[in-house]
Amino acid sequence: MSESKRTSSSPFGYSEEKMAQAFQRLLMSENGLPGVGCFGAIYREISCRQGRPDFIALRYKSCSDQRISINVPGLVGPAILQNLKHKAPRTLDYLVGKLEFGRESIRKSLRLMIENGYIEQLDSGAYRLAAQMNHEKPEIWTFELKLNNPKKAVFQAQQSRAYAERAIIVVPPGQERNYERFRETMKRWHVGLSTFNPITGIFHFVRKGRKARAFSPTQQIYT
């Protein structure tokens, strides 16, 4: 079915894809998400061991509360950052064996992140996290966009809580009332709810949800 047909048959006047495109522009805007701010990295529809959220966003804060803007495009760079520490240098061979990416892709990303000051290469040839990044730990947010089908949205958000500190369901204005019957479940799983109008660009938190540790930190995603 064509995009125009999907849109015309939608009671909202727009499709879920159009909503996602508008939401992506909001996430990447200069001021970021209202009530949250800017994210260091944003990914769309990344396949994870637990589901495939519409958006994964990483938020970085240093221990001194001095915000550092980090922009590492693609999948390879974030995967490398997750596997490097300042006090434990890793060789290229180690990264190639650990990650599901080709040697040249990893080498190219390493060069880019060295130029940006995110990592350092030692005389031995090994790589480590740069000193300024040593205390940087990403806060993982996931966003599930749904025009309808609240039961599926809640289930998908629950899945993403395996690895995300924040899971937010995003729906058109007026649809939030359909989630009242899931309020206790969402509260128990720390799942937030928000509305977004892709036509006006207005975003509003209904329930932000409490930040909580991922339920299964061993779940690995390459972001």
Three-class SS string for 148-167?
Answer: CCHHHHHHHHHHHCCCCCEE
How much is the pLDDT for 133? 64
What the block records as the tokens of 120 is 């350092």
Domains of the chain: 3-60+138-207 (3.40.1350), 76-133 (1.10.10.10)
Tokens 């690895």 correspond to: 163
Distance CA 26, CA 30 (A): 9
What the block records as the tokens of 93 is 């061979």
How much is the pLDDT for 216? 59
Percent of the chain with pLDDT over 70: 79
Q: Burial of 88 by CB count in 10 Å (0-12 exposed, 13-18 middle, 19+ buried)?
A: exposed
How much is the pLDDT for 137? 67
Q: What is the DSSP string of 25-44?
A: HHHTSTT-BTTTB--SEEEE
**Which residues, given as ranges, of the chain have pLDDT below 70?**
1-9, 46-51, 61-75, 132-137, 214-223
b/e code 163-181 from CB counts within 10 Å (16+ = b)? bbbbbbbbbbeebbeebee
